[in-house]
Amino acid sequence: MPGKTRKPSFKPYSGAAGGWGSAKSVNRILRHERVYIEGVKTLIEQNRPKGFACVSCAWAKPAKPHALEFCENGAKATAWEITPKRVGADFFARHRLSELEQWSDYELEAQGRLTEPLRWDASSDRYLPVSWEQAFAEIGAELRALDPQSAVFYASGRASLETAYMWALMARLYGNNNLPDSSNMCHESTSLGLPQSIGVPVGTCTLEDFNQTDCILFFGQNVGSNSPRLLHDLQQASQRGVPIITFNPLKERGLERFRNPQSPLQMLGAPATRISSQYHAVKAGGDTAATDYFRRTTQTQLTQRFLPIVKKATDRVGLAKQYNGLASQGASLGLVKAEDASIESYVTRKALDGLYLMIAEQEKNFRQNPVGATSDIVKKVFGALR
């Protein structure tokens, strides 16, 4: 209920991802939802070949499952799904919709599962029960009155795989394939962005790839939050000596080290597994971020190398003596910048400015059209090998 929810808090956590921290968290949520015995029985079947798919993430069922194929987040999602808490007509008799709109998502979900169809009544501003027969009859009447192609069958991303499959079958029997769900908000950017970067709208990795690969590059994916079961595959790769190179603005504990809750040795104190062999906490930059970094780290060294070459060239034509004398006088009067009072320094600086400008333009082109840029590079490389 509003006002009775414990205020969220956090404190530093020094442990590895997984381990006793995850085990305690699973125990806590099962007890909190009062599904300790039922929850344990259910979780044993989660993400197994003859079991059911987790509603928390889309990480695939492995062909050879572990003894337990769920993570801390998956256990929480399942506990919320099978909670014995129920929200009946008496709840909605006590609370108007305008009041419930002020509650947080957490407070609403904590009340439990709905038990019957409901319809909002404008005059009382409350949800009122409707019989299943009436609900199906009215929904059917609405659907029959529509052109099938005008209907959209929206679903929650939290729906189970089995439920979503039945929902999709019904939509196709009705006569369309308009089946968006809330996951679109997560994956639409991927579907649009991936073709521009790798040429296809979906990821191309399979579970088997993790067993065969010689190197893994991670870009901005927080495995401990988004797909914790992937940690098993990363752990095995790390133990094989596969370099795992991570680029992520945030330090994600799951990509630093992992203590496998299904490893008796690690749970009894053996060292946690190092996941990332290199962790680059890159900072977000603009279209020339790489060039700016290159300039900061190379300009002094390149200036030292260019300066003698420029000096030799200007001395040969006698330009330095004339320019430096006049520029020194101009600098003393404030007419010329001190850094421009030497022709050698001026020419070297301008030459490097031009070099970095050219590199920046190439970086911009690469960022705007990575597929085209890499295709040109591939053509040049393989063309040179013919």
- Whole-model pTM: value is 0.65
Q: Give yes or no: residues 296 and 378 share one domain.
A: yes
Number of CB atoms found within 10 A of residue 13's CB: 9
The domain boundary residue, chosen from 280, 309, 327? 280
Q: Give yes or no: residues 348 and 365 share one domain.
A: yes
Q: Which residue has the tokens 């085209």?
A: 372
Q: Give yes or no: residues 293 and 270 share one domain.
A: no
Domain range for 349 is: 289-384
Q: Are 182 and 208 in contact (CB under 8 A)?
A: no
Q: Give yes or no: residues 251 and 215 share one domain.
A: yes
b/e map 311-334, b = 16+ CB within 10 Å: beebeeeeebeebbeebeeebeee
Number of domains in the chain: 2
Q: Give yes or no: residues 378 and 301 share one domain.
A: yes
Q: Are 49 and 76 in contact (CB under 8 A)?
A: no
CA 351 – CA 305 distance, rounded (Å)? 12
Residue among 294, 273, 278 nearest 352 (CA): 294
Please indicate, yes or no, if residue 89 is contained in any of the structural domains. Answer: no
Q: Give yes or no: residues 328 and 276 share one domain.
A: no
What's the token pair of residue 305? Answer: 């190398």
Please indicate, yes or no, if residue 365 is contained in any of the structural domains. Answer: yes
DSSP state of 125: T
DSSP state of 16: P
Please indicate, yes or no, if residue 25 is contained in any of the structural domains. Answer: no
Q: Give yes or no: residues 273 and 326 share one domain.
A: no
Q: Give yes or no: residues 203 and 273 share one domain.
A: yes
Strand partners, 17: 258
Please indicate, yes or no, if residue 230 is contained in any of the structural domains. Answer: yes
Residue among 212, 229, 208 nearest 59 (CA): 229
CATH of the domain at 217: 3.40.228.10
The domain boundary residue, chosen from 280, 308, 335? 280
The domain boundary residue, chosen from 232, 250, 280? 280
Please indicate, yes or no, if residue 367 is contained in any of the structural domains. Answer: yes
What's the token pair of residue 195? Answer: 């073709």
Q: How confident is the chain (386 residues) per 10-residue block, as mean pLDDT?
A: 66 88 92 91 89 79 84 90 92 95 90 93 95 95 95 81 87 90 72 78 82 87 84 93 89 91 92 93 78 88 84 66 56 57 74 88 76 54 42
Q: Give yes or no: residues 300 and 379 share one domain.
A: yes
